Amino acid sequence: MSYLLHIDSSSLGTASVSRQVARSFLDGWRGEVVHRDLAASPVPHLSAAGISARATARARYTAEEAEAAATQDALIEEFLGASAYLFTVPMYNLTMPSAFKAWLDQIMVFGRTLEFQAPAPAAGRPAVVVSARGGGYGPGTPKHGLDYVVPVLETLLGRQEMLGLDVTVIVPELTMAPHAPAMADLLPKHEASMAEAHRRARELAAAMNHGAAAA
């Protein structure tokens, strides 16, 4: 069995709710884990050299293109070497942390991780996304429709013409309720959301272990 690629992007370290829920998944995972912490060690944002290197023969690289290509090669090899994925991507200002977007921009390359008319190389591999947020963004809430994390990630990670992963999302909500007096009446809903998130994380780890064993 290959490894689980675990990508963290929360800036809060051990205080991160997304990371805490991911820990429930990891506690139940029965295999090798390769961990990349994008908050502690961010990858570079995609540069002009990184873009031009994709369409340039290696023998003709400039020094900048060679450096950018080496970064992309390492990240893509790490991504393609995994059999399953665990991503922690909290909501920051309605969207994903820039560190995670930078990682996506480095690894999403046509002819390598994306294909125009064929399934992507990692298509069908299971991926769990944990995306905590301070408020609530589901149907019936005042902020419904303002979640620009989960829909975007379901598209980039999951659509067949993109990375094609089999994506499951866990959304711990109302994480500001324990800290904001104005949200005190929402604390029971937050606690229920947290309990369900941890339960779902353990359940998914067990299911993915079983799937890997049966493969």
- Domains, the chain, in order of start with CATH, read 3-214 (3.40.50.360)
Name the pLDDT band for 118 (thresholds 50, 70, 90).
confident
Q: Give the mean model confidence (pLDDT) for residues 76-92.
A: 98
Check residue 117 and give its pLDDT: 83
In this prediction the pTM is 0.94
Place of tokens 């079983």: 210
pLDDT per residue over 128-178, tens digit each?
999 999 999 999 999 999 999 999 999 999 999 999 999 999 999 999 999
Q: What is the pLDDT of residue 70?
A: 98
16-43 confidence digits (pLDDT tens):
999 999 999 999 999 999 999 999 999 9
What confidence tier does 213 reach under pLDDT thresholds 50, 70, 90? low
CA 147 to mean position of chain CA atoms: 15
CA distance 6 to 33: 7
Is 87 strand, coil or helix?
strand
User: pLDDT (tens digit, 9 = 90+) per residue, 91-117?
Assistant: 999 999 999 999 999 999 999 999 988
Q: Is the pLDDT reported for residue 214 higher than 80?
A: no
Q: Which residues contact 3 (CB under 8 A, 6 or more apart)?
A: 31, 32, 33, 34, 81, 82, 83
